[in-house]
Amino acid sequence: MEGQQEQQNKARVVTVDSVESWDSYFTRATNQGCPIVVHFTASWCMPSVAMNPFFEELASSYPDVLFLTVDVDELKEVATRMEIKAMPTFLLLRNGAQVDKLVGANPEEIKKRIDSFVQSSRVYVA
């Protein structure tokens, strides 16, 4: 039980449990200029479930990015709004707009795209 509690404390992935919380996280991150990475998942989709530990690992590597998980069966409205057709789908959002979308469980490609996304999010002033 203690190990489970520690795991929850370490996890930087936020599970979105309502349309209201989606709107709140999305608006707050957009207003603060914080990039967002969203994992659209389903409990019955084994490739999606298999990506959860990897997604949590990524989240701990990028402290300046908001990592969200959305279960498409629980939040159909959000999945429809974001045009999610298959699981897993990973969306990369900046300033309220979709920058990239990756469908499928491909850890190397997801990491590469997030690396690129985070690098392009950083603004350097000369």
Peptide bond into 88 cis (omega under 30): yes
User: Domain 14-123 is classified in which CATH homologous superfamily?
Assistant: Glutaredoxin (3.40.30.10)
pLDDT band of residue 123 (cuts 50, 70, 90) is low
Residue 34 CA to residue 27 CA, distance in Å, equals: 10
| CB proximity list for 4: less than 8 A, separation 6 or greater | none
What is the signed CA dihedral for 57, 87, 19, 63, rounded to 10 degrees?
20
Q: For 34-77, how does the pLDDT look when each residue is reduced to its tens digit (9 = 90+)?
A: 999 999 999 999 999 999 999 999 999 998 899 999 999 999 99
Q: Residue 11: its pLDDT value, please?
A: 46
For residue 76, which phi and psi values (nearest 5 degrees)?
Answer: -55, -40
Whole-number mean pLDDT of the chain?
88
Which position has the token pair 């690396």? 115
Domain boundaries, the chain: 14-123
Q: For 107-120, how does the pLDDT look when each residue is reduced to its tens digit (9 = 90+)?
A: 999 999 999 998 88
Q: Residue 66: its pLDDT value, please?
A: 94
Among 64, 69, 82, 67, which residue's Cα sits nearest to residue 120? 64
Q: For 88-102, how does the pLDDT look when each residue is reduced to its tens digit (9 = 90+)?
A: 999 999 999 999 999
Q: Residue 119: its pLDDT value, please?
A: 87
